[in-house]
Amino acid sequence: MKIVVLGAGYVGLTTSACLADLGHDVTCCDIDGDRIAALERAEVPIYEPGLSELISKQIALGRLQFTTHATKAAGGAEAVFLAVGTPSDASGDIDLSYVEAAAKTIAPYMQSRAVLVIKSTVVAGTARRIQALVDASRERRDIAVASNPEFLREGSALKDFMQADRIVIGADEPGSEAVLREIYAPLLMRGVPLVATQTVNAELIKYAANALLALRIGFINDVANLCEKLGGDVAAVADGIGRDQRIGPAFLSAGPGFGGSCFPKDTRAFASTGRRHGAPQPLIEALIEQNELRKQMLAERIIDSAPRSGRVAILGTSFKANTDDVREAAALTIVPMLVEAGLDIHLHDPQPNSAKRLLSGVQWHESALGAAKGADVAVVLTEWDEYRTLDLAKLCDAMEGRALLDFRNIIDRERAAAAGLSYQGLGRSALPLQPAKRGYGTSVMARVAASPA
């Protein structure tokens, strides 16, 4: 099928490359001429594992093209996907101007009976509003607007697209649902479940899913705080509760607060939609505040651990591992607070390009050990694999001080203690453990028993 995708960001590029891989003839368009020029040379402007290779392959196979001339491309397409940004506006509501502008621009050029598919994350009711905009631009209603929210995660985008837990199609009339079923037929035949519903439900599914996932993170972060007071271990608690099949183990890792381009903005939009429609979302309102306070609380923890004007190494600035994305990353709150407190900040991230543009008053290093050289405190802020396997003896040797704050709980504290570091994770005891002779579970139980009630 001939498909046009508007937006060559994380979602637009993944969608374009994967739909081409499923055999469709895809043209991906963006208004950013430099981005398109780079993509035409198969240079992918974002870091997403496997994406560059897939794009090169699909270009070579002739199934994927890039252009800035969306209106020209749209003429022959049976479906046009909108994958443009939907950032937060100043009030926390969602800014739909990119979606509206793209729809208005493209609608007059689409062929009759084509489907305009909203893949961007949009508040409930948007597809119906866009339908009205599209109808106004045509002589008769011959284009349907459908909703097809995207659930991929950055860092595992290709797998999430190709092996999705489900595909959600929101359609208010059968024709557009049929087109989307045909587009996704190769995945449906492989057993990916389909949820076909009305556009308003599809839009709500997307927001409710992100809000619930974010709530789990907020909850486990609060449990981590309690563990610290009681001498517990949040990983052991998460393991124990996650084994209940009704709960499951995913999204129960304590961390420095959720970041990224989606959870923060989507929780704000969900709360704001609730307020606007007289159906407040108090859980989500509290979560948003808790998540912001957590980043500030952890910045203060670093400041308290460092000597005045001390040197701090921050390992990881991306909002999570395997991406270069720093949108609403914990680092963007924490690092400026440390600079403001007069600390000397040294940073490392394996994919630092976006962060370099946003963080000032800091020094960047090519390696984690380079950043840690002479540091009083080292902080693991992103769970990159290379930090999991850090040579802790070398880290300890490189540092001036001994404090290692692990805000992702990815470093074995016994190994850290054996290397001479003073380890502090999240939601676990600040004290370095004695080299283990007993099993892990036993030592956790012993500390819980020994801690004050």
Euclidean distance between CA atoms 134 and 400, whole angstroms? 63
HSE value, Cβ hemisphere, 13 Å, CA-based, for 48: 27
Q: What are phi and psi of 85, to 5 degrees?
A: -70, 150
Based on the shown chain and the rule CB under 6 A, indicate whether residue 11 belongs to the binding site for ligand NAD: yes
Complex with ligand NAD: residue 246 or 357, whichever CB lies closer? 357
Complex with ligand NAD: residue 27 or 86, whichever CB lies closer? 86
Based on the shown chain and the rule CB under 6 A, indicate whether residue 170 belongs to the binding site for ligand UGA: no
The single-letter DSSP state of residue 374 is T
Spatial CA neighbour of 444 closest among 287, 235, 304: 235
Q: Give how far Cα 178 sits from Cα of 97, 109, 131, 174, 194, Å.
A: 28, 22, 18, 6, 12
Task: Using CB positions, name the residue nearest to ligand UGA.
Answer: 262
Among 4, 20, 29, 426, binds ligand NAD (CB under 6 A): 29
Q: Which residues does residue 392 pair with via DSSP β-bridges, in sequence order?
A: none
Based on the shown chain and the rule CB under 6 A, indicate whether residue 150 belongs to the binding site for ligand NAD: yes
Based on the shown chain and the rule CB under 6 A, indicate whether residue 316 belongs to the binding site for ligand UGA: no
Q: How big is the site for ligand UGA, counted in residues (CB under 6 A)?
A: 20
Taking CB under 6 A as the rule, which mask of x and - marks residues 203-232 in contact with ligand UGA?
-------x--x---x---------------
Complex with ligand UGA: residue 235 or 306, whichever CB lies closer? 235
Q: Give how far Cα 325 sits from Cα of 152, 213, 251, 358, Å.
A: 14, 19, 19, 11
Residues 6+ apart with CB under 8 A from 173: 144
Based on the shown chain and the rule CB under 6 A, indicate whether residue 32 belongs to the binding site for ligand NAD: yes
Euclidean distance between CA atoms 50 and 157, whole angstroms? 9
Spatial CA neighbour of 281 closest among 291, 290, 270: 270
Q: Specify the 3-state DSSP secondary structure of 82.
A: strand
Of ligand NAD, ligand UGA, none, which one does residue 102 interact with (CB within 5 to 8 Å by kind)?
Answer: ligand NAD
Taking CB under 6 A as the rule, which mask of x and - marks residues 65-94 in contact with ligand NAD?
-----x------------xxxx--------
Q: How far is the CB of 76 from ligand UGA (least distance, A)?
A: 30
Among 262, 302, 331, 399, binds ligand UGA (CB under 6 A): 262
* From 18, 29, 262, 396, active-site residue: 262
Span interacting with ligand UGA, options 28-36, 151-159, 428-436, 439-447, rule CB under 6 A:
151-159
Q: Could you tell me the strand order of the sheet in which 167-170 lies?
A: 64-67, 25-29, 2-6, 79-82, 115-118, 144-147, 167-170, 194-197
Among 66, 184, 319, 423, binds ligand UGA (CB under 6 A): 319
Residues 6+ apart with CB under 8 A from 252: 216, 217, 220, 238, 241, 242
Complex with ligand NAD: residue 11 or 220, whichever CB lies closer? 11
| 227 classed as catalytic | no
Complex with ligand NAD: residue 10 or 384, whichever CB lies closer? 10
Q: How far is the CB of 134 from ligand UGA (least distance, A)?
A: 24
Euclidean distance between CA atoms 248 and 246, whole angstroms? 6
Q: What are phi and psi of 29, to 5 degrees?
A: -120, 145
Complex with ligand NAD: residue 31 or 196, whichever CB lies closer? 31
Among 22, 102, 115, 187, binds ligand NAD (CB under 6 A): 102
**15, 161 in Cβ contact below 8 A?**
yes
Of ligand UGA, ligand NAD, none, which one does residue 83 interact with (CB within 5 to 8 Å by kind)?
Answer: ligand NAD
Complex with ligand NAD: residue 65 or 429, whichever CB lies closer? 65
Based on the shown chain and the rule CB under 6 A, indicate whether residue 24 belongs to the binding site for ligand UGA: no
Spatial CA neighbour of 378 closest among 401, 357, 397: 401
Span interacting with ligand NAD, options 71-79, 101-109, 417-425, 436-444, rule CB under 6 A:
101-109
Site for ligand NAD in 256-295 (CB under 6 A): 261-262
Given the structure tokens 């084509």, which residue do they identify?
114
Residues 6+ apart with CB under 8 A from 361: 336, 339, 345
Residues 6+ apart with CB under 8 A from 172: 127, 128, 131, 144, 145, 146, 198, 199
Complex with ligand NAD: residue 83 or 114, whichever CB lies closer? 83
- Residues contributing to the site for ligand UGA (CB under 6 A): 121, 150-154, 210, 213, 217, 251-253, 255, 258-260, 262-263, 319-320
Binding site for ligand NAD (CB under 6 A): 6-12, 29-32, 35, 70, 83-86, 98, 101-102, 105, 120-121, 150, 152, 154, 261-262
Active site residues: 262
